[in-house]
Amino acid sequence: MILDIYMLRLLFAPFGASLLIAVSVLLIGRTLKILASFSDGDLSLGLLSQLLVAILPYFLVLTVPIAFLFSLQSVMIRLHQESEIDALRAAGVSYLRIFRGFFSVAFVLLLLLIYTSLVWMPSGIQQFRTLFYGSDHLASVGFTAQRFSHDIDDVTLYVDGQDESGLYYGLVMEDKRSSTPVMYVAETARIDRVANGVQLILSHGVRQEGDMSNLRMLAFDRYSVLIPFTQLSSDRPMPWSSQLLEMSVSQLWQVLADKGEPGAAAEINRRLIMPTTIIVLLLFALPLSVAPKRSGKVGLYLFGIALILVVYNVQIILHQKVSAGEFAWWSMWLGQLTWGGLGGFLFYRTSQDRLPLFLTQSGEYFYLTHQRVMHWLSHRRGNA
Low-confidence ranges of the chain (pLDDT < 50): 139, 233
Instruction: Please classify residue 156 by burial: count the beta carbons closer than 10 Å to its beta carbon, then call 0-12 exposed, 13-18 middle and 19+ buried.
Output: middle
- DSSP annotation of 99: T
- Give the closest residue to 80 by CA, choosing from 360, 362, 378: 360
Contact present, 299 and 362 (Cβ < 8 Å): yes
User: With contact defined as beta carbons under 8 Å apart, do 137 and 153 qualify?
Assistant: no
Among the listed residues 269, 377, 358, 260, the one whose alpha carbon sits nearest the alpha carbon of residue 306: 358
Q: Model confidence over 285-333: pLDDT tens digits?
A: 998 887 655 556 777 788 899 999 999 999 999 999 999 999 999 999 9
- Strands 216-228 and 197-209 come out as antiparallel
Domain ranges of the chain: 2-136+240-383, 149-231
In sequence order, which ranges of the chain are alpha helices (DSSP H)?
2-37, 45-81, 84-90, 95-98, 100-115, 121-138, 240-246, 249-259, 262-285, 298-323, 330-351, 357-383
**pLDDT tens digits for 169-187?**
888 888 887 878 888 999 9
Cα(118)–Cα(275) distance, integer angstroms: 10
